[in-house]
Structure 1
Amino acid sequence: MINQIMKVFVAVVEEESFTKAAQRLHMTQPAVSGYIRQLEEELDITLIERSTRGVRLNAAGDIYYHHAKEMMTLESRMQHLILDLQEETKGPVKIGASYTYGEYILPTMLAALVEKHPKIVPEVHISNSATIMNDIRSATLDIGIIEDEIQGAKVNMTRLLKDEMHVIGEAGFPDHPTHRSLREATWLIREEGSGTRSYQEQAFSHLDIQPKTITLSSTQAIKNAVASGMGLSLLSKHTINHELETGRLKRIEYNNVALDRHFYLLTPDVRYHSTSTLALLDMFNSMAIEHHEVFR
């Protein structure tokens, strides 16, 4: 079992304060300081640099923190798996989803999941594809859905759903623009690490343009910027249906350029999965392009 010293250390690092860590753990501040002092004495090395501006990890502290988090994640996973031996589908399932899938598709699936299994508790983390892949590798997440095929060890990956990407512009932009107008337009793109970003860059290659770009880390922000006339973008059909129906945005056609992609389903390469994870995987498999197999 993870000892109290490790839990205190992690709390101090994450709260960046001895006082806030004490409040989080319902302890006194001197008790927290005592645990950290005991840990540093046992290891015979300083882990946390103290100053009037707060606490800061040094190199040794950074190593201890990351390994402590991995151990705490493993312990939590072990406890849930042991409880699963009661053969009741319940408990948490940690899901990491890219912005497009997580915000526009996943909520409907989760509603169906908890209706069928009321004791399942989904915990959703919305992030870009690269971050989700890293969290699946470390088994911090039980299930991941990303927008780009990223190969990696310790990960099971299958195609989940086909998606269509469309060039969009504000309502007054020409329906059939010239190549020059596309080249001279400003394009709104997602941040590095985003699955959508890689397909936006592919679109530039297909269109044979190297336009001026503005990076925004939110699909909603991109849609608002395009609708206000800042430029063009390439986004998933799932994210723009409402705006196309209301006329706030329009789909731009040029030489029948079309880009399709897939959403990918990920699970960590581990020996056991919780019953709540398996229940969600069964739901994904009922509509997936490729069946996702895991140990049961």
Structure 2
Amino acid sequence: MDDRLKKFAAVVEAGTFTKAAAMLHISQPALSVAVDKLEKSLDTVLIGSVGKKGVELTEAGRVVYAAALKHRAVDQNLCASLLYVGDEKQRLRIGLIDNAAQMLCEHEELLQTLETETELSLEVSDSTSLRAAVRSDRLDIAVVVADDAADAKLQIVTTGYDCMALVCEADAASEFQWLLDNAQQLPFISYVQRSMTARVAAKALERDDVSVRPTLYSTSPDVMLMMVLRGRGAALLPEKLVRGQLASGRLVHLRHGGRPYRVRRRLSAVVLRGRHISPQLQALARIIQL
């Protein structure tokens, strides 16, 4: 894609010249000059104004931005197609949140296919970090907790759901259930507050009038599970992670409103906007629908 088009698209997507320049690792004056040269070469004004709501494009600017996206898609699809040339395997870089990683491991046939057909690398992290990695093209696809905020650089391949169960250690179950039944604060092991899962959990707990008192914050559900098993508090954890301990009786599923308390978490498989969606990416994205 023409370098000036690339820089113009970056300004539109970042919302300001300052953010776009930082993203492109160039100075703001150099970026302004590039956009100015593009406008002069086209003999038209592309950007009407830049304000708190981002860049306001002129009608010509919207046409040029659409063309920039098409050019980007052509470039990316060409690069993706070239990966199939020769005997080299296609590189496939996958990012997964905790529960999605477990979903993939449970689909052994799909995992074996990906390992056979591609040069596979996996990264397990939080949704915010994984989105940033997709935006910067360090990952080809990521399965993350869905975010309602629009992101101009990402496109959603598919969406699905998983469930989190409110669980506690068996010996603490009577005490914790009493606290829950009597609207008392429940000792609670939480995801770190900046995480998307913490936001989903907090919104659900507030909606359902479940009062909690955080005793520990963690980015790792495995660490949270270990703390729950030590009686440090209750936690909302992916059902796939805790079903073995529930079956063995080491954990108890706490009840609220007459039923085991669950929170649904919406997941999305996201890629860089305009990226070629290979059969391997499509197959991976479907794990959150199964």
TM-score category, normalised to shorter length: 0.5 to 0.7
1:221 to 213, 220, 223: 223
Q: In 2 relative to 1, CA 267–64 (structure 1 residues): closer, same or farther, beyond 3 Å?
A: closer
Structure 2 counterpart of 1:114: 112
- Number of aligned residue pairs: 215
Q: In 2 relative to 1, CA 81–67 (structure 1 residues): closer, same or farther, beyond 3 Å?
A: farther
TM superposition shift of 1:184:
2.7
Q: Please say if residues 158 and 285 of structure 2, whose CA atoms lie closer than 8 Å, have aligned partners that are also in contact.
A: no
Structure 2 counterpart of 1:146: 144
Structure 1 counterpart of 2:165: 166
RMSD of equivalent CA atoms: 3.2
Q: Please say if residues 159 and 262 of structure 1, whose CA atoms lie closer than 8 Å, have aligned partners that are also in contact.
A: no
Q: Please say if residues 188 and 232 of structure 1, whose CA atoms lie closer than 8 Å, have aligned partners that are also in contact.
A: yes
Q: In 2 relative to 1, CA 182–142 (structure 1 residues): closer, same or farther, beyond 3 Å?
A: farther
1:267 to 261, 271, 274: 271
Q: In 2 relative to 1, CA 101–193 (structure 1 residues): closer, same or farther, beyond 3 Å?
A: farther
Q: Over residues 105-144 of structure 1, what are the superposed CA-to-partner deviations in whole Å (9 max), with x where a residue is unaligned? A: 1223465243366141211111111111111222221001
- The 2-side partners of 1:160 and 1:65 are apart by 28
Structure 1 counterpart of 2:203: 202
Q: As a proportion of its length, which structure holds more strand?
A: 2
Please, which runs of 5 or more residues in structure 2 have no aligned partner?
1-20, 27-75
Structure 1 counterpart of 2:245: 243
TM superposition shift of 1:279:
2.9
One-letter identity of the residue aligned with 1:267: V
Structure 2 counterpart of 1:34: none
Q: Trace 1:1-296 onto structure 2 (pairs within 5 A).
A: 67=25, 81=80, 83-86=82-85, 90-102=89-101, 104-109=102-107, 112-115=110-113, 118-150=116-148, 151-172=150-171, 173-174=173-174, 176-179=177-180, 183-213=184-214, 214-255=216-257, 256=259, 257-272=261-276, 278-284=278-284, 289=289
Q: Please say if residues 89 and 279 of structure 1, whose CA atoms lie closer than 8 Å, have aligned partners that are also in contact.
A: no
- Tell me whether 225-234 or 133-142 shows the greater mean CA deviation: 133-142
- The 1-side partners of 2:166 and 2:219 are apart by 18
Q: What is the identity percentage for the equivalent residue pairs of Structure 1 and Structure 2? A: 17
One-letter identity of the residue aligned with 1:152: D
Q: Please say if residues 162 and 261 of structure 1, whose CA atoms lie closer than 8 Å, have aligned partners that are also in contact.
A: yes
Q: Please say if residues 95 and 139 of structure 2, whose CA atoms lie closer than 8 Å, have aligned partners that are also in contact.
A: yes
One-letter identity of the residue aligned with 1:97: L
